[in-house]
Amino acid sequence: MREDFDDIEDYYAECVAINEHDLDSEYKRVAADLSFWNARYADAVEAHGNAKREYEETKARASIEIRETAAGRGDKVTNPEVDAKVLLDPDVQDTHILLISAEANLKRARGRVDAIVTKKEMLQSLGAKLRLEMAHDPAVREAVAGQRLTGY
């Protein structure tokens, strides 16, 4: 990621934008953009897995604690009662919120990768269209050649 971006959202907006006047640069950068966002996706997959593990472990600890407390008092509790008490446990609720956030981040990261893949496909399509136009129209050939020389 370039260092002059203050915000990841600004960088993402630049990654998905297509400069129609400089397709060569767009072709060159799309692989790096895809690599960058795939790495962010991998980070999100890891964070989601860790959040899910933490949530399941917290639920298990709460269930054991509830059963042991009930047994210590001589109370009998049913599985549905334990499940309900587990869901009301503050630690379980906190880890569930973290899991939901991790799931949202995972979906967001997957969507960003998909957007870069779509951009790549659009660039390929634009390139094919431009090659076809250049083959049949000398004015298009001259315009494209001029863009390559001037960069606009």
Three-class DSSP labels, the chain: CCCCCCCHHHHHHHHHCCCCCCHHHHHHHHHHHHHHHHHHHHHHHHHHHHHHHHHHHHHHHHHHHHHHHHHHHCCCCCHHHHHHHHHHCHHHHHHHHHHHHHHHHHHHHHHHHHHHHHHHHHHHHHHHHHHHHHHHCHHHHHHHHHHHHHCC
5 vs 112, which has greater pLDDT? 112
Global pTM value: 0.77
Mean pLDDT of the chain: 89
Residue 2 has pLDDT above 60, yes or no: no
Residue 152 has pLDDT above 70, yes or no: no
pLDDT tens digits for range 20-41: 888 889 989 999 999 999 999 9
Q: How crowded is residue 139: how many other Cβ atoms within 10 Å of its Cβ?
A: 9
pLDDT for 35 equals: 96
Tokens of 96: 């569930």
pLDDT tens digits for range 113-145: 999 999 999 998 887 877 777 777 676 667 666
Mean pLDDT of 89-107: 98
